[in-house]
Structure 1
Amino acid sequence: MKKILIVDDEEGIRFTFKKFLTSENFDVSTAEDFDEAVACISETDFDLIFADIILRGKTGIDVLREIKERKLNCPVIMITGYPNIETASEAIRLGAFDYIPKPIQKETLLHAIDVALQHKAVLDEKEKYRTNLEAIFRSVKDAIISVDKDLVLLEMNDAAKNICGFTRKDIGNGFNTLSNNCNGKCLEALTATIESKDSVDLNSLECQLNNRK
């Protein structure tokens, strides 16, 4: 069951949203202000959040900002009874998924939810794929390094640390400055790959690097 949070200082809005969305088989929580909203998102992983822009004290924009600062993978739909370009622009700039003026019709609400949840499903799948790749990257026994077009070291796996003697402090430095104590074959292959924009095969490569510090 998808979890939805409604943040609105109007009790009638919270009650109406919760009753309707519960009947549509959603698990609905409500909050009347910023502090309650923060408490909710600290305890529950929501699939979608609706936040009224105008609240008592801090605004729905503050709720949106808090969600983005926490890097939560959760779409936020802003709702307001007083739509204007300034608040809409601020909401979009901060990453709001949608911006809906009150009063909200049931069909509009359900359509917005459907689109937002589809978007979240795509984001979740991408994150799952990224996590799986990260696990593979970290666990393979072959050394893997990532460099940019200028041969600046961007990332490495644990095998690269053990085989090549790299440390996390080396990230951000030019690969050529880190390879002075080996035979340079890795550097040659990397340079050729970047210049040709194609893979380079090496028949054999003997690493002569020992205890680089």
Structure 2
Amino acid sequence: MQNDFINKLSAYTVLYVEDEDGIRNNIQEILQHLFKETITAKNASEAFIKYRDSKPDLIITDIKMGSETGIDLIKKVRQSDSKTRIIITSAHTDLEYMLQAAELHLVKYIIKPITQEKLMEALEAFVKTHDGEKIYILSKNWIFDHSKSIISNDEEEFSLTKKESKFLKLLITKNRIITYEELENHIWDEDSVMTANAMRLFVKNFRKKLPENFLKNVQGTGYKIIRD
């Protein structure tokens, strides 16, 4: 279960905002081993610029950072973005801050010092907020993000067609052979005919986006997936 959670994190990008160099460097070292991309900023102004440029999946920000606070940053983000997940870190348990934070739809509020246990607990909560969008682990380092119709590994990212995304989800959720008849009925467009040549071309192109030997043809029946 822990490996599944870690694999899911590797599909996301994170922006970490902290004005204390030592803390920022230490937490960055942990995050960059977990996320697809880790971006850092040392204050709210810099963070907002990097947020606009990179559109991260998660923002982890300290509250007190000089003239602009983490709350100020989150309010600016929330003016046009209700989807990006946010975790706040703070050395303070100030009730006013916590009440403001509660209104900004946070994943978690971490009280410093940030231990690995607290951080991992918050990151697990973050992953759970995406469970409805479905991140599937295909094999080691290979991830299928159904909500974005994307397959990715450590080196590449592949955009799936509507047919490919539907077919892959069917293969994963059914976890059995998907027959040619099912492929035609559930995947193929109603206004087109699934000829043998069309199916072979579809599968040939689809395999190029999958882990090696992941999709197996069962002669005369259909297709199934082979996991590591």
Offset from partner CA, 1:15-43 (integer Å, 9 cap, x none): 01110122234421111111111111111
| In 2: Cα distance, 1:55 partner to 1:70 partner | 23
The answer to whether the 8 A contact 1:73-1:120 is kept is: no
Please list every run of at least 4 consecutive aligned residues from structure 1 whose deviation after the TM superposition is greater than 6 angstroms: none
Offset from partner CA, 1:97-117 (integer Å, 9 cap, x none): 211100011022012112112
The structure that is helix-richer by fraction is 1
From 76, 89, 94, the counterpart of 2:86: 76
- Report whether the alignment pairs 1:97 with 2:114: no
Partner of 2:45: 35
- Report whether the alignment pairs 1:49 with 2:59: yes
* TM-score normalised according to structure 2 size: 0.51
Offset from partner CA, 1:24-72 (integer Å, 9 cap, x none): 3442111111111111111112111111010121100011101111214
**1:165-180 correspondence to structure 2 within 5 Å:** none
| In 1: Cα distance, 2:50 partner to 2:133 partner | 22
Where 1:23 maps in the other structure, the secondary structure is coil
Q: For residue 54 of structure 2, what is the amino acid of its counterpart?
A: T
The answer to whether the 8 A contact 2:74-2:104 is kept is: yes
- Report whether the alignment pairs 1:23 with 2:33: yes
From 75, 79, 104, the counterpart of 1:65: 75
The answer to whether the 8 A contact 2:44-2:69 is kept is: yes
Offset from partner CA, 1:138-166 (integer Å, 9 cap, x none): xxxxxxxxxxxxxxxxxxxxxxxxxxxxx
- Report whether the alignment pairs 1:14 with 2:36: no
Which segments of 5 or more consecutive residues in structure 2 lack a partner in the other structure? 1-9, 136-146, 149-228
| In 2: Cα distance, 1:89 partner to 1:123 partner | 28
How far residue 96 of structure 1 moved from its aligned partner, in angstroms, is 2.2
Partner of 1:86: 96
| Structure number with bigger Rg | 1
| In 1: Cα distance, 2:38 partner to 2:17 partner | 11
Offset from partner CA, 1:163-186 (integer Å, 9 cap, x none): xxxxxxxxxxxxxxxxxxxxxxxx
The structure that is strand-richer by fraction is 2
Which segments of 5 or more consecutive residues in structure 1 lack a partner in the other structure? 130-213
Where 1:5 maps in the other structure, the secondary structure is strand
* TM-score normalised according to structure 1 size: 0.55
The answer to whether the 8 A contact 1:53-1:78 is kept is: yes
Distance 1:87 1:96, change over 3 A: same
